């Protein structure tokens, strides 16, 4: 027994047990990521820039300029006298009545909307990454706790082995094998702790949370769910999925750019200009002021001709924008097909993990019962430690498999929710068997 106490103290120093100071919820982790993550900060700046640069009044504001000049001729070097004082001050206003006025505002509006969608896409990708890192961290924490309990059970078995050895019921070889098994369980726990450290690092990079002494919230219980065909889900998701919204907006932008390119290169443009000149620069002999103010208004137009000729720069620009629009349409179609495949994969993964959970629960229950029986028989001297250790390992494996399957099911539901463009709670409420009845 003295050896067991020394070993227990040594293992506690070498591999300290898990004791968490606080619980950090998933919601708190997501809020921290929104504040601290650099990707979302960059996306927010890009969105603000797009909004600032897409003023709806930009095409309606004319070009306005004020110019002036003042001159005084000195002819004394040539035998003359001070001569002419001249000057003018002009105000010019010019407004393009062509393509910018017609198409630019529409493009700016679409680009602003697209920037908002891209920001939401970045935020959604970050949210998905944080959720995955959070629950993987939870899995690692639970794995450490499971391994710790297995180690503690093995120490109890070692204490029993010490008593049996002292009573002459087992030989020294069996005792040493028991001690070796305890060390194996301890090192397994350390391996899980190493994985937990990596999970903390990945979580910290996403959220900015440096604390490594917190516990995740409990894995939520998922009710029984029933999903329709993936094609039906596609119809449900097509207007909510952010990727499809972005691709659809890209197609609208490409169509608007094609119209803008056609108007720029194939449709006549009209420019209205006006100016008023204060002082004409005429001769003034006695500083009597500037003379002969004048104003003017002009209307000019330009008719492109070369743009209709194949091979010209204008012709090629139109064809290039038309090709870009075709590519955007194909990308939207491909994105829709990819969404359908992703929905099918999500449903398959959820259903597979749900079946695995049911089997893992049965396996865990059987493993728990088998371990209790083996433990009782071992303590009574009817089982060897090898058989008890095998039962303990089976129990630990069953518990970890159940945890992994529950996390897989949860992450599968999150993936499906992101693909459909709704929250996890909405997904559960929408497809819960209890809600459908």
pLDDT tens-digit series, residues 392-417: 999 999 999 999 999 999 999 999 99
Query: What is the mean predicted confidence (pLDDT) over 332-349?
Result: 96
**Phi and psi angles of residue 281, each rounded to the nearest 5 degrees, phi first:** 85, 10
CA distance 150 to 373: 16
- State yes or no: pLDDT of 345 exceeds 90: yes
* pTM for the structure as a whole: 0.75
The predicted pLDDT at position 86 comes to 54
pLDDT tens-digit series, residues 353-386: 999 999 999 999 999 999 999 988 888 878 888 8
CA 38 to each of CA 120, 206, 263: distance values in angstroms, whole numbers, following the listed order:
15, 9, 41
The predicted pLDDT at position 288 comes to 43
pLDDT tens-digit series, residues 269-282: 666 666 666 554 44
Query: What is the mean predicted confidence (pLDDT) over 307-313?
Result: 78
The predicted pLDDT at position 132 comes to 96
Query: What is the mean predicted confidence (pLDDT) over 313-338?
Result: 93
Q: What is the mean pLDDT of the chain?
A: 81
Query: What is the mean predicted confidence (pLDDT) over 193-203?
Result: 95
The predicted pLDDT at position 58 comes to 56
- CB within 8 Å of 363: residues ≥ 6 apart: 398, 401, 402
CA distance 333 to 168: 77
- State yes or no: pLDDT of 138 exceeds 50: yes
Locate the DSSP E strands across 17-166: 22-24, 63-74, 82-96
- State yes or no: pLDDT of 98 exceeds 80: no
- State yes or no: pLDDT of 168 exceeds 50: yes
Which of 215-229, 248-262, 294-308 reaches the highest mean pLDDT?
A: 215-229
Percent of the chain residues past pLDDT 90, beyond the cut: 45
- State yes or no: pLDDT of 11 exceeds 80: no
- State yes or no: pLDDT of 423 exceeds 80: yes
Q: Which residue has the higher pLDDT, 19 or 5?
A: 19
R_g over Cα of the chain: 38
The predicted pLDDT at position 368 comes to 94
pLDDT tens-digit series, residues 26-48: 999 999 999 998 888 888 888 88
The domains found in the chain, sorted by start residue, are 223-267+305-437 (1.20.1600.10)
Which among 391, 404, 412 is positioned nearest to 361, based on CA atoms? 404
């Amino acid at each position: 027994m003295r050896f067991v106490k020394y070993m227990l103290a040594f293992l506690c120093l070498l591999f300290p047990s898990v004791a968490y100071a606080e619980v950090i919820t998933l919601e708190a982790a997501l809020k921290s990521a929104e504040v601290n993550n650099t990707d979302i900060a960059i996306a927010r700046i890009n969105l603000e820039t797009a909004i600032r640069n897409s003023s709806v009044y930009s095409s309606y504001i004319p070009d306005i300029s004020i110019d002036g000049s003042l001159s005084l001729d000195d002819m004394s070097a040539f035998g003359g006298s001070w001569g002419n004082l001249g000057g003018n001050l002009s105000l010019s206003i010019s407004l393009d009545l062509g393509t910018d006025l017609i198409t630019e505002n529409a493009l700016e509006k679409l680009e602003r909307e697209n920037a908002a969608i891209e920001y939401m896409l970045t935020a959604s990708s970050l949210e998905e990454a944080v959720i995955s890192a959070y629950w993987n961290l939870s899995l690692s924490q639970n794995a450490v706790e499971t391994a710790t309990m297995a180690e503690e059970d093995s120490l109890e078995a070692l204490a029993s082995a010490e008593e049996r050895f002292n009573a002459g019921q087992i030989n020294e070889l069996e005792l040493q094998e028991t001690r070796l098994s305890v060390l194996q369980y301890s090192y397994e726990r350390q391996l899980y702790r190493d994985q937990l450290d990596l999970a903390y690092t990945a979580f910290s990079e996403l959220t900015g949370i440096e604390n490594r002494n917190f516990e995740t919230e409990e894995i939520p219980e998922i009710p029984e769910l029933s999903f329709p065909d993936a094609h039906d889900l596609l119809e449900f998701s097509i207007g909510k999925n952010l990727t499809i919204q972005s691709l659809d907006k890209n197609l609208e932008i490409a169509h608007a750019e094609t119209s803008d390119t056609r108007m720029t290169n194939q449709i006549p443009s009209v420019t209205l200009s006006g100016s008023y000149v204060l002082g004409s620069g005429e001769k003034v002999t006695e500083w009597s002021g500037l003379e002969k103010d004048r104003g003017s208004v002009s209307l000019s137009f330009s008719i492109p001709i070369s743009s209709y000729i194949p091979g010209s720069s204008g012709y090629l620009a139109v064809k290039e924008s038309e090709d870009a629009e075709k590519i955007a349409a194909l990308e939207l179609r491909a994105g829709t097909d990819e969404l359908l495949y992703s929905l099918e994969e999500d449903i398959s993964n959820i259903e597979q993990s749900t079946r695995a959970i049911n089997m893992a629960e049965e396996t865990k229950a059987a493993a728990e019962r088998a371990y209790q029986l083996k433990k009782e028989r071992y303590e009574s001297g009817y089982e060897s430690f090898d058989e008890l250790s095998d039962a303990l390992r089976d129990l630990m494996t069953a518990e970890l498999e159940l945890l992994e399957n529950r996390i897989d099911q949860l992450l599968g539901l999150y993936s499906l929710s992101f693909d459909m463009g709704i929250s996890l709670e909405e997904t559960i409420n929408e497809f819960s068997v209890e809600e459908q009845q």
